[in-house]
Amino acid sequence: MLFLNRPSEVGTQPPRAAFLMPSLVLLLLLAAGLSVAIGPVRLDAERLLAALGLHGDRIAHAIVIDLRLPRMMAAALVGAMLGLSGGVLQGYLRNPLAEPSVLGASNAAALGAVIALYFGLSELHAAVLPILAIVAALGALALLFMLSGRSESPLTLILAGIAVSTLAGAGISLALNLSPNPFAAMEIMTWLLGSVENRTFSHVWIALPCVGIGAFLLAGCGQPLDALSLGEDAARSMGVDLARLRLRILAGVAIGVGGAVAVSGAIGFVGLIVPHLMRPFTDRSPSAVLLPSMVAGAVLLLLADVLVRVAPTTNELKLGVVTAFLGVPVFLVHLMRERRLW
């Protein structure tokens, strides 16, 4: 067991960790490139580059600038937000199964959007639906605070989150139940499956500030989350203000995930699986997982979105469907590792 006694530089990361962020950024650029280059209409490199340089023909311009570029940006923003908030919540709740939906933010945002669809408000302006979704996510945050009170235990937060989430879910079911005609129900269902198809720059401008604020609030939580891996008392004895941390995480998730879901619809599993995929490449402390999860979330959603475009199906597959199918194998691998079968 010679290697155990090797004097090593304290605090340095395992060697592969040094390559993680550069490789992820490279993957991100590649995935973003694929997302702009690939679609149902074949564009050769010349027309593509011309369109990107804003001097292409009108058709190429419409396809690349008006359709693919905002779609690519929406997928990247939503994926990054879901990945980051999954990493933060798993660290905060010290539960490997935590994901953005446990706090009810994504369900509440979906309810806001469904209300917009149900009452036909979404017809008024393209921004009405996402704005209602964000308002609903913030409302859910306020409710969550009222329910979980000043308690610092993660359990009360999870219970309150389940209550909020279930309430929002019930609201969505009610809307489907009472929907005036099958077309309205169909429209709601389609939105709930989650997609970034036909998103415009106005969607991107709505999501961007929300994701920006959310990411800013969450990305700075690394050190307190590390301290929490020793339990609440030890974290507080190291100077962590748990009440402030909780406020920061709740606000970050509600604003960020609310803004993301407002644009894409509910896309599950990304926030759950991405931190698990990243953890083996890090020193496994909660802080080390955050930034890689953010970039990898964007990569995963961009690639999934390319996949739904090239998949030979009559109706375009919805992103939420693809991510759910991706999530199950990751779950199985995790289960097998827990049982030490692999």
Partner 1 sequence: MVTISLDSVTVSLNTRKVLSKVSADLTAGTLIGIIGPNGAGKSTLVRAMLGLVPVSAGQVVVDGEPIASILPKALARKLAYLPQGQTVHWPLTVERLIALGRLPYLSPFSRIGPSDADAIENAIARADVGHLRQRDATQLSGGERARALLARALAVGATGLIVDEPLASLDPGHQIDVMEILAGEARKGSLVLAVLHDLTLAARYCDRLIVMDQGKLVADGTPAAVLTADLLRSVYGVEAFVDRTSDALMVIPMRRTTL
Contact residues for partner 1, defined by CB under 8 A: 1, 3-5, 8-11, 94, 220, 222-223, 226-231, 233-234, 236-241, 283-286
Shortest Å, Cβ 91 to partner 1: 8
Interatomic CA distance for residues 231 and 150, integer angstroms? 18
**Which amino acid type is present at position 28?**
L
Tell me whether residue 99 or residue 226 sits nearer to partner 1 (CB atom). 226
> Residue 312 burial by CB count (10 A; 0-12/13-18/19+): exposed, middle or buried?
exposed
Interatomic CA distance for residues 11 and 73, integer angstroms? 35
Shortest Å, Cβ 222 to partner 1: 7
Per the CB < 8 A criterion, the answer to whether 5 and 276 are in contact is: no
Q: Select from 280, 318, 321, 271 the least CA-distant residue to 298.
A: 271
Q: Which residue has the tokens 């909780």?
A: 246
Q: How many residues does the chain have?
A: 342
Tell me whether residue 141 or residue 235 sits nearer to partner 1 (CB atom). 235
Tell me whether residue 94 or residue 334 sits nearer to partner 1 (CB atom). 94
The SS3 call for residue 226 is: helix
Shortest Å, Cβ 29 to partner 1: 24
Tell me whether residue 7 or residue 40 sits nearer to partner 1 (CB atom). 7
Tell me whether residue 203 or residue 246 sits nearer to partner 1 (CB atom). 246
Q: Which long-range contacts (CB under 8 A, 24 or more apart) does 55-63 make?
A: 63/39
Shortest Å, Cβ 14 to partner 1: 9
Shortest Å, Cβ 336 to partner 1: 16
Tell me whether residue 7 or residue 312 sits nearer to partner 1 (CB atom). 7
Shortest Å, Cβ 39 to partner 1: 39
The SS3 call for residue 240 is: coil
Shortest Å, Cβ 317 to partner 1: 35
Shortest Å, Cβ 213 to partner 1: 17
Tell me whether residue 13 or residue 200 sits nearer to partner 1 (CB atom). 13
**Cα dist from 118 to 18, 123, 178, 181, whole Å:** 49, 10, 9, 10
Give Cβ neighbours of residue 88 (< 8 Å, ≥ 6 apart).
Answer: 218, 221, 225, 249, 252, 253, 286, 290
Per the CB < 8 A criterion, the answer to whether 214 and 81 are in contact is: yes
Q: Select from 247, 250, 270 the least CA-distant residue to 258.
A: 250
Per the CB < 8 A criterion, the answer to whether 98 and 301 are in contact is: no
- Structure-token pair, residue 335: 């289960």
Tell me whether residue 59 or residue 230 sits nearer to partner 1 (CB atom). 230
Q: Select from 40, 30, 32 the least CA-distant residue to 63.
A: 40
